[in-house]
Structure formats: structure tokens, C-alpha cells
Amino acid sequence: MEQLPNEILEKIICLLPVKCVLRLRCVSKSWLAIISSPYFVKLHLKRSVQTKSNLRLFRWRYDLFQVDFNSLYEGNDLQMVKVDSIPLMFRKYGLVPNCSCDGLLCMSTICVIQNVLLCNPSPRRYYGPNCSVDGLYCMPKVRAIENVFLWNPSTRKSIKLPYASIEIANQSDRLNAYVYCCYRIGYDNNNDDYKVVRIVILISYHLDIIIDYEIKVYSLRSNFWHRPEKFSHCPNWISFGNIIVGRALHWISTVKSDLKRESLIVAFDFGTEKYRVLPQPEYSSPHFDLYLDNFGGCLSLSCKYESSIVDVFLLKEYGKKNEHWSRLITLSPTTTSEIYHPVTPIAYSKCGKKVWLHMGRMRLVLYNLEQKLVEENTVDGKRELTSPLHTCFESLVSIDVPVAPMVTWEVV
């Protein structure tokens, strides 16, 4: 029997879900070569992004659960399914999803805020006792964050990132402070490389002000951490969402002076590792709180005003000359009885006339764009969530690195 040309096979196999594609590797050596090629991996991922297929919603609730995004269109209650392929080491270290990119989940400790008590008179370092802040359990040691993994749930492969020290924790003149640690993963198109950015912020425990911060970047291609140049102003740690858009990481930096307080929208390019400040949308009034996130490949900005009204903007034509902000929705006490900030859009409904909103990491609701009303929704029969949601594509992206000490695990 004559075999179809590889170009035709690629187009046909590319239409299938990831699990089916993985099974087809056993058909023949030629099929294995096709499916394993970097070209096909990118082709399959590109189609998934364009068609919104193979998209999953993950949630951590004492375990990892997922739901097919297609089921978001099938009713008012989402039934999440437990993920059984979690490596045992993730449970051992208490790792949870932190962010995702192209099917790769960055897993880190649930304890992202750690209390750090530094003792200045002695060269020895002491760490404060365990405590909890906003529901996050504080850890007694900064080294607890060394357990960071990249994991592809589809291929069931994971790697542990090498340890990277936190230098600002060694500043012995900083007393009674706590550390906020944030990881984000993105793709460097210039070097065909996936990079993990770690931002560590040192915050005064009593004054609740940012003392200092540091940024480090891990390269999957080189399997090393390095420290790029810092932006001149510290990131606002409460503005962090899934903020990878246009091959760049984004955050809010607050600049204070005697006369005014200004918020900057900062972009860190994964390829050049340079910074740029993005333009601001036209706000309705002086804003109270800002939050950035990713909505279908667009940078979204949630703005809460002192009047409790919330505007959600989208940045259109990202990186182009006509780059501009467009207002997507406006929430007020007349549209819904309760508004939890931040308000982050997740996905359009199948008809395109409604938007799924994640409100304050506590509720998942539908917003009707035509009627400008909020429709209530439940997850596993409950109205309020006890853990945040993460979106992730199923993909064939490899996490192999050409370094001997790196250990790769596969869950059977």
C-alpha cells in the first residue's frame, strides 16, 4: 500500500487531539519521525492556538483538576476532572501551577510568600516563624523555593530547574521583611527557546512597602539562570496575572513623587531582554487598582475606580504603530450585586456574545456583551472558588535539554 506524502500526513494528523497524536507514534518509525519533528510540534501548536482547540482550564484544590474548554459552552455548571498523571514528586514538594506557556506548566511551591527575619548584628541568618498572609502559608526558609519544575501534562514529562539563589535575601541591613516570589514562563522567538522569569520582591513587613527586587531568567536551551538588567522601578506584586503577551512579560510599576503617583505598564521582551513602557488607556476617572492578564493572546487591563466601577481594556495591534487600548466591558453595581477585583476575562462563549470572567479569583461568571449583564455560574456545584484558575494548551512541546545533569521523568 502506497503511503501518503509527509505533507499530507502532517495536515491530517495535525487535526487530532494531543492524546491521539501521541498514540500514532507507534504506527511506524516514519510516523514517529514526523510527529517528533520540531516542525510538526509547532504546526500542531499553531493550529491549537488559532482554533482554540486543545485548550484546558486547570485548578488546584488539594489536587490538580482540569476541564475541556469546550465544556464551558454546555451549561451553567462546570464539572472538573481530576488529573491522574501528576508526578509523585509534585505532591511531595507541594507544587501547584504557577503559570503556563504553549502547553508547559511552571510548577512551584504553594508557599510563594515567605517571612524572612534577618539578624544584622550576627553573620548568621535567622528566619521568622511560619505564618499566613492572604491565605498563603509562609515558609521558614528562602531555600524552600528551589523546587521549581517545568511540566508538560500531555507528554507527561517534567524537568526540575536548577537552583538559583536569592541575592536580596542576603542584604543583612534589611530587617523584618518578607519575600514575594513570582514565576512566569514565555517563548523567546529569536532563539527558539523557552524562558522562565523569576521576580523576587523584598517587602517591609511593618510598612508594607517594597524595599528592593531582583529578576532572574532561566533558559531551557542552556539550562542556566542569568540576571538581566533591572527596570528602574519595582514591580507591583499584586498586579501579576498570566501576563505573557507578544513574547513579553508585563507588570505594573508604581512611581511616587511628592506631587503625584503614576502607574507604568512595563513590558520585558523575552528575546532582547529589554524593557519598554506601554501607553495607557483612557480612564474614566482616577483609578484605584490595576491588574494585567492575558485574554486570548491580547493584553488585558482590569481597572477598578474609587466608585467601585471596573473597566476591562484590551490592547489591540500589540507592538505595531497603531497599538491602542479598547474597552471590552464595564462592570458597575447595576450589572452585578458583587464585584470582586481583579476582573480577568478568560474566553469568549461559542456564540461570541458572552465572555467568561474570573472575578477576584473567587468566582467564574458569564458577562453578556449585548445585555451588559452578569450571569451566575458554578464550578462543581459551588458558586465560589477556593483556588485560582489557569489556562493551558495541550501540546507536544518538548522540555528536553542538552545537559547531562538534568534529570527527565516520565509518568506511566
Q: Is the pLDDT of residue 343 over 60?
A: yes
- Position 3 scores a pLDDT of 75
Q: In this predicted model, which residue has the larger pLDDT, 366 or 69? A: 366
Instruction: Dump pLDDT digits (tens) for 292-328.
Output: 998 888 999 999 888 888 999 999 999 888 999 999 9
Q: pLDDT for 213-238, tens place per residue?
A: 999 999 999 999 999 999 998 888 77
Provide mean pLDDT across the span 48-56: 80
Top-confidence residue, 64 or 316 = 316
Higher local confidence (pLDDT), 258 or 39: 39
Instruction: Give the H or E element holding residue 336.
Output: none
Report which of residues 378 and 327 the model is more confident about.
327
Identify the residue with better confidence: 313 or 371. Answer: 313
Residue 244 scores a pLDDT above 80: yes
Structure confidence at residue 314 (pLDDT): 94
Share of the chain above pLDDT 70, in %: 78
Q: What is the largest CA-CA distance in the chain?
A: 81
Contact 87, 411 (CB under 8 A): yes
C-alpha cell at 209: 512597602
For residue 164, is pLDDT > 70? Answer: yes
Helix (H) or strand (E) holding 299: strand 298-305
Band (380; pLDDT cuts 50, 70, 90): low
Q: Is the pLDDT of residue 375 over 50?
A: yes
> In this structure, is the dihedral angle defined by the CA atoms of residues 333, 336, 337 and 338, taken in order, positive or negative?
negative
Q: What is the DSSP string of 177-235?
A: EEEEEEEEEEEETTTTEEEEEEEEEEEETTT--EEEEEEEEEETTTTEEE--PPPSS-B
The pLDDT tens digits of the residues spanning 84-127 come to 777 777 877 778 788 888 989 888 875 444 444 433 333 333 33
Q: Is the pLDDT of residue 344 over 70?
A: yes
Quickly count: other Cβ atoms within 10 Å of residue 38's Cβ. 11
The model scores a pTM over 0.85: no
Non-local (6+) Cβ contacts of 284 within 8 A are 305, 309, 311
